[in-house]
Chains A and B, each alone.
Chain A
């Protein structure tokens, strides 16, 4: 009885230490559980894969560093896929704190494929006024963003000559950690301009997007770090990239974290029911 009562009052620091150790260990020594791709990630991959070479893929970086472990690997994997297929990548964002991450991706990834800023990739930056920004881009991108993030005129960037409005772009991938995000691209870019919209979301918000996926409004969905890992595997299996896969590497840690939480819940329930029975 005392043992179960002790379990119910266990010091939270012990839980923190156990969790910390089990999350850290697989990062040092991977378990090698492997990742298989699911149908939602495959749909997004197929959609990006089917865009003709030379066309533009729009990626909206709607997240901040808090969601970076889940969403940044999606951004790099989708960009690598696009460049391997000789697509041009147009980046924009509805979150001001996502700017640094988009700039990092626009700087780090293109050189891997010999791509140049202005010719193969452009980052528009952040603009306030979510719906007005998307609707404005639908009419004329240069009206909303006359300059890129660093103040260069869009007219001076060769890539932007063929990209005047959203209808010139076959697809958008919105990587969203909340609102504003994919739901705004669905409401305005998809419904009004008929754009194909794929998305990558944090695991906690992925369930909200399922109805849009089933209705066909969403072209594909990457859910959390697992979604990122699935896309990384698809890109690598197709020989589009040989780069390090951070999401795949982190999946072992996530597996163990889930198991720890489950074991803790089971122990907590056993202790609760045993002590309750004895008390009654």
Chain B
């Protein structure tokens, strides 16, 4: 029963929503409008689940004094302060959430995390990017052309370099990307059909019938 009811709902809604997409009748459109509202409400619960999981993980880490428990204090305090300030003053431009948390804290911290990638990338490329085989040599040459062609210095070195970089991106890169996209799309359709027809049941989780 615990499995059959969700499977039946999934099968019913899967087929109805597929058919609905091609039927522009007002009843069909109304039903579609209603179900998208349900989806938005269910999605909002994911936030509750996320916050619950976050709190449980960090309080447990703190209680057991696991490695890095001090960072859990930072995470919990930051979450509590953001929530209180957000609920009390809202998210307007003049709110303390914007003026004391988002702009002076989150923006530079988040940007710094991303910016240090440039340093790691340079170091990693120096140590690991080796032309050991013909394929890796080809990759290396293509990467050099695209890297130079994508910045103004490339055009300053040779005016046709941006065109060459554009060709690499538009022809060989796109052929590979398109093949991957088709593969992913076909895989997505197959998985969706398996879920609708009850062949794939991983989403039901464990437990008894």
Contact = CB atoms under 8 A, between A and B. Distances in A.
A4 interface: no
A172 to B, nearest CB: 18
Contacts of A265: 125-126, 129, 140, 144
B207 to A, nearest CB: 26
B107 A65 contact: yes
B36 A139 contact: yes
A20 B106 contact: no
B121 interface: yes
Interface in A141-157: 143-144, 149-151
A67 interface: yes
Given A127-B40, A262-B144, A15 B113 contact: no
Interface residues of A, number: 68
A164 B39 CA distance: 21
Contacts of A268: 125-127, 129-130
Nearest to A22: B122
Contacts of B148: 258-259, 262
Which size class do B's interface residues fall under? 35 or more
Nearest to B114: A66
Interface in B110-146: 110-111, 113-115, 118-119, 121-123, 125-127, 129-131, 140, 144
A107 interface: yes
A103 B92 CA distance: 8
Contacts of A274: none
B173 A210 contact: yes
B74 to A, nearest CB: 18
Contacts of A264: 122, 125-126
Nearest to A227: B150
Nearest to B155: A36
Contact of A34 (B127, B152, B162): B152
Interface string B10-22: 0000000000010
B170 A261 contact: no
Tell which of B103, B129, B152 has the most Cβ of chain A within 10 Å.
Answer: B152
B147 A149 contact: no
Interface of A: 10, 12, 15-16, 19-20, 23, 33-36, 38, 64-69, 97, 99-100, 103-104, 107, 125, 127-133, 135-136, 139-140, 143-144, 149-151, 192, 203, 207-208, 210-211, 214, 223-224, 226, 251-252, 254-262, 264-265, 267-269, 272
Interface of B: 21, 29, 32-33, 36-37, 39-40, 42-44, 46-47, 90-93, 98, 102-103, 106-111, 113-115, 118-119, 121-123, 125-127, 129-131, 140, 144, 147-148, 150-156, 162, 166, 169-170, 173-174, 177-178, 181
Given A129-B44, A211-B177, 5 more contacts: A19-B118, A65-B109, A149-B91, A255-B151, A260-B122
